[in-house]
Structure 1
């Protein structure tokens, strides 16, 4: 898990979110109200929900973000994290404490560095990369 996570506030602009993505070389950023995760914004959210609709770079992140956030707790094991990522087709999983406060983030690449079943991270990535509704059943 990465503990040094950059986030944006719901009222921050999508330009600020994009600049964080560029500087951190990531495709998504948690949206937090204080430290509580209230959404995720991805480069795809910005493209489809703002640029394609003619919105400006000053559009607030809350207008484009995904509000249904899938997250895990700090004590979630790598197997369960991989399963959550595969099931919900996400590449980054916010790690939140019992109050919903952001304490870190797990990326699909992080799973490849821990001692889990040899194909588990690869299986998760394979399922994440499939179009919705087309997941393989194992």
Structure 2
């Protein structure tokens, strides 16, 4: 299975200049634990960072920083690990395991954001594959 068939296509993004409070409100409104940070001035969505709810807790809440004056770019993870949308599920799992990450932005051949795959998406794809296998070999 290719990762583009298992990933979530609707990715919630935020420009790097936005405040941490704006990011937290967006996470709350969209029921997500991570945002892909993009360059607002770019023509296409290219991931330049990722911001998780854990990043906010560790960098802002625990340090008593001001979420209204702290920019997303200040606390995001700037080294974005991605996978190609044509990659297979096994490769995405290996990337996630190697880097110890639960969310993996998916990009096309030009580095443009096309989706995101989370551990839950991987579990779902694996369950679907196992169910198909079970049905193929079960007596009718």
TM interval, short-chain normalised: 0.7 to 0.9
Q: Choose 3-12 or 107-116, whichever is displaced more.
A: 107-116
Name the counterpart of 1:21: 27
CA distance in structure 1 between the partners assigned to 2:53 and 2:116 by the alignment: 17
Equivalent in the alignment of 1:91: 102
Identify which range, 72-81 or 48-57, moves more after superposition.
Answer: 48-57
TM-score under structure 1 length normalisation = 0.78
User: What number of residue pairs does the alignment pair up?
Assistant: 118
Q: What's 1:70 paired with?
A: 81
1:54 aligns to 2:64 (yes or no): yes
Query: Which structure has the higher relative contact order (CA within 8 Å, separation 6+)?
Result: 2
Alpha-carbon distance, 1:38 to partner: 0.4
Unmatched tracts of structure 1, length 5 or more: 119-138
* C-alpha RMSD of matched pairs (Å): 1.7
Q: Deviations over 1:54-113 (max 9, x none)?
A: 221221100000011110011011111111111111111000122322111001111122
Aligned residue among 29, 46, 50 for 1:40: 50
Runs of 4+ aligned residues of structure 1 deviating over 4 Å after TM superposition are 115-118
Query: Paired residue for 1:4, among 1, 5, 10?
Result: 10
Displacement of 1:115 in angstroms is: 4.3
For structure 2, the 5+ residue unaligned runs are 1-6, 131-140
Greater C-alpha radius of gyration: 2
TM-score normalized with structure 2 length? 0.77
> Which of the two has greater helix per residue?
2
Query: Are 1:104 and 2:110 an aligned pair?
Result: no
Query: For the residues of structure 2 that align with 1:101 and 1:49, how far apart are their CA atoms?
Result: 28
